[in-house]
């Protein structure tokens, strides 16, 4: 996959995760937005999957 395509995919996944978290848990803190924006795609995808069933925002990011 080309660099630009990978970058676009990562940005799309990042925005989707932020939207899901906001929908499920309300306004998310800037620290969380920063964490997501600096994370590799693999982490973002893992967090997205967890966010679907998580009881609390904390559960999404705890291993």
DSSP 47-63: HHHHHHH-SSHHHHH--
Q: What's the pLDDT at 35?
A: 97
Q: What's the pLDDT at 1?
A: 62
Structural domain range at position 24: 3-61
Structure-token pair, residue 30: 């800037």
Can you give the pTM of this predicted structure?
Answer: 0.88
Answer whether residue 6 shows pLDDT above 80: no
Query: Which SS3 state, helix, strand or coil, does residue 39 take?
Result: coil
pLDDT band at 4 (very low <50, low <70, confident <90, very high): confident
| Overall domain count for the chain | 1
State pLDDT tens for residues 32-50.
Answer: 999 999 999 999 999 999 9
Answer whether residue 14 shows pLDDT above 90: yes
Distance of CA 31 to CAs 1, 34, 35, 62, Å? 30, 5, 6, 15
């Amino acid at each position: 996959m080309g660099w630009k395509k990978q970058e676009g995919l990562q940005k799309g996944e990042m925005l989707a995760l932020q939207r899901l978290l906001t929908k499920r848990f309300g306004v998310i803190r800037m620290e969380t937005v920063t964490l997501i924006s600096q994370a590799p795609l693999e982490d973002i995808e893992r967090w997205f999957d967890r966010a679907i069933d998580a009881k609390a925002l904390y559960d999404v990011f705890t291993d």
